[in-house]
């Protein structure tokens, strides 16, 4: 059942819904607020943990924020009447880059490996596309297969 939220109107943001479920739809305003909150809080916690327990622990702490980020992106994709599966175009190469970096496979001596460079290039292109798709383009007017329009009643 799709969650009905009007977070882009004058109602306060339902943070539990925003960060923990992939069901339903959100508008651009809620997307940006949630995304910026996850990025800022995630980066601060990652830096804090890294300073106290080392870089690897910081990276692991940062992984905790993947799920809330995915939940936000999924609901925004739904508002555009798209499947959340499209987010895998970012998450899969990002995971490979993360693993390559964590295992020291990103460099060949003092030069980055070709696969690492290609994957980072793909990530940049996908990030630009997703930023436009999710952050700037209006959602589907009216109800779609993912739920009611979050801007309804505005």
Task: Give the tens place of pLDDT for each residue, 75-95.
Answer: 999 999 999 999 999 999 999
Those residues with Cβ within 8 angstroms of residue 105's Cβ, 6 or more apart along the chain or in another chain:
99, 113, 116
Average pLDDT over residues 115-140: 96
Asked whether 127 and 134 are in contact (CB, 8 A), the reply is no
Model pLDDT, residue 55: 85
Residues facing residue 111 across a β-bridge = 108
Mean pLDDT of the chain: 92
Q: What is the pTM assigned to this prediction?
A: 0.88
Average pLDDT over residues 55-73: 91
Q: How confident is the model at residue 11 (pLDDT cuts 50, 70, 90)?
A: confident
> Residue 99: pLDDT above 80?
yes
CA angle 96, 126, 104 (to 5 degrees): 25
Asked whether 84 and 74 are in contact (CB, 8 A), the reply is yes
- How far apart CA 37 and CA 154 sit, in angstroms, is 24
């Amino acid at each position: 059942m799709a969650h009905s939220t009007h977070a882009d109107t004058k109602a306060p943001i339902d943070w539990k819904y925003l960060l923990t479920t992939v069901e339903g739809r959100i508008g651009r305003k809620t997307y940006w607020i949630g995304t910026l909150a996850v990025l800022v809080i995630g980066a601060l916690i990652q830096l804090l943990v890294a300073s106290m327990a080392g870089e690897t622990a910081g990276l692991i702490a940062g992984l905790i924020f993947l799920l809330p980020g995915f939940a936000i992106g999924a609901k925004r994709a739904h508002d555009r009447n798209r499947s959340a599966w499209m987010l895998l175009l970012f998450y899969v190469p990002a995971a490979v880059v993360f693993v390559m970096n964590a295992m020291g496979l990103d460099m060949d001596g003092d030069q980055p490996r070709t696969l690492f460079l290609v994957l980072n290039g793909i990530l940049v292109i996908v990030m630009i596309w997703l930023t436009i798709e999710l952050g700037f383009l209006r959602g589907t007017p009216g109800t779609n297969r993912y739920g009611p329009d979050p801007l309804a009643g505005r």
